[in-house]
Amino acid sequence: MTPVSNVTEIQTQPRKPVAASFAFGILASISFCHLLNDMVQSLIPAIYPILKKSFSLSFTQLGLITLTFQLTASLLQPWVGWYADRRPKPYSLPAGMGLTLIGLLLLSAASNLGMLLIAAAMVGVGSSVFHPEASRVARMASGGQHGLAQSLFQVGGNAGSATGPLLAAFIVLPRGQGSIAWFTTAVFLAIVLLTNVGNWYKRKSSIEPKSHATHPQHRAVLSSRAIAFSIAILAALVFSKYFYLASLGSYYTFYLINKFHVSVQSAQIHLFVFLGATAAGTVLGGPIGDRYGRKYVIWCSIVGALPFTLLLPYANLFWTGILSVVIGLVLASAFSAILVYAQELIPGKIGMISGVFFGLAFGMAGIGAALLGVLADKTSINFVYHVCSFLPIIGLLTGFLPDIEEHVKGAALEQSLAGPANPA
């Protein structure tokens, strides 16, 4: 495959200064809040067995709940990021978590499908505010190690997504829907931590604009057509990854119960193991991308999962658990590389790009859950996994992405040979 290479010029432009040091404390806070945020969100699909029984819901209706959450979480994110690129809002982070708190309380008290949909929508809106701004904070605190920072940020979210089903299995399932309200303590803790992060964000935003011109950034400038084509490929890769993950995140417990006749609690533990593997895999993608290139990570991650996804529908219970762990490890490494690659394609639009790709991820997961729910109702849950096993083939499109890291290195070398762009 021949990658897009419409490089029209190489130039040196001013950039925001790289932080003097890696702000680990801020990254740890934002990652931990991501854990708490996504832990709460993951309670929604984790309690589907309870909701299905209590409200006599079909798979299609369960998919509708996921779609409502994922669409509200996805559609607003690009707009939040776009607005914050122009007008930074440091305290939008605790405000977004406050919306999640309201949704959580509604979820614990919902008595019909309509209330469940409203609760899911509120949690989704909170997520749409949190993710693009938190991703921006992660980049600001990265000290130039953008891939590593995004991985640390995202591993918090994946760890939270893994923890949610486990907590649901041992807290919500035995005690019922009302016990969901207990998780508000975690949300209050996140609000406190995010207020402190907002204080740091506000100070950082007030200092950085004063010294933009002092640090040159070397980058290749692609044509608008090449950028649009590359973004379209990245969007297709996100579709492949999250449509497949929707089959595991939303219906894995039902698949295990239906095919292997395990208990609900046992199925939740299997889901926890899978989601734990995705959390571990997230850590790998960023730093490997920093060192060897984002395109390499994207290629190996999505296409590399294909043999395992094809085997999964034919495996017994033991090998299903093993294969799900491998799939989680491999697939999870892609997103931080995709996100940083997109940010480097369009510098200066960090919030908007973060919002677009987090929104796209949520949107694809939501649409996937809804469509796969309909497919499961019309066929069987086992058939869903046969269909989804082919999705990683889309990863072959990675071969058409331009090697932007090589262009950046070439620009930096040319500038170093030519001397300073703005000599005193």
Spatial separation of the C-alpha atoms in residues 235 and 292, rounded to whole Å: 22
pLDDT digits (tens, 9 = 90+) for 64-104: 888 888 778 777 788 888 887 777 778 889 999 999 999 99
Longest dimension (CA), the chain: 74
Q: For 361-401, what is each residue's pLDDT tens digit? A: 767 777 787 788 889 889 999 999 999 999 999 999 998 99
Give the model's pLDDT for residue 348.
74
pLDDT digits (tens, 9 = 90+) for 384-393: 999 999 999 9
Q: Which domains does the chain have, with CATH numbers?
A: 27-417 (1.20.1250.20)
Alpha-carbon span 47 to 252, nearest angstrom = 13
CA-based Rg of the chain, rounded to a whole angstrom? 22
User: Of the candidates 131, 151, 266, 236, which has an alpha carbon nearest to the alpha carbon of residue 194?
Assistant: 131
Residue 218 pLDDT: 46
Q: How confident is the model at residue 221 (pLDDT cuts 50, 70, 90)?
A: low
pTM of this prediction? 0.67
Q: What are phi and psi of 275, to 5 degrees?
A: -70, -30
Helix, strand, coil % in the chain, rounded to nearest 5: 80, 5, 15
User: What pLDDT is attached to residue 421?
Assistant: 44
Count of Cβ atoms closer than 10 Å to residue 192 Cβ: 11
Local structure of residue 394 (DSSP, 8 states): G
Residue whose entry in the numeric block shows the structure tokens 């980049």: 139
pLDDT number for residue 411 = 47
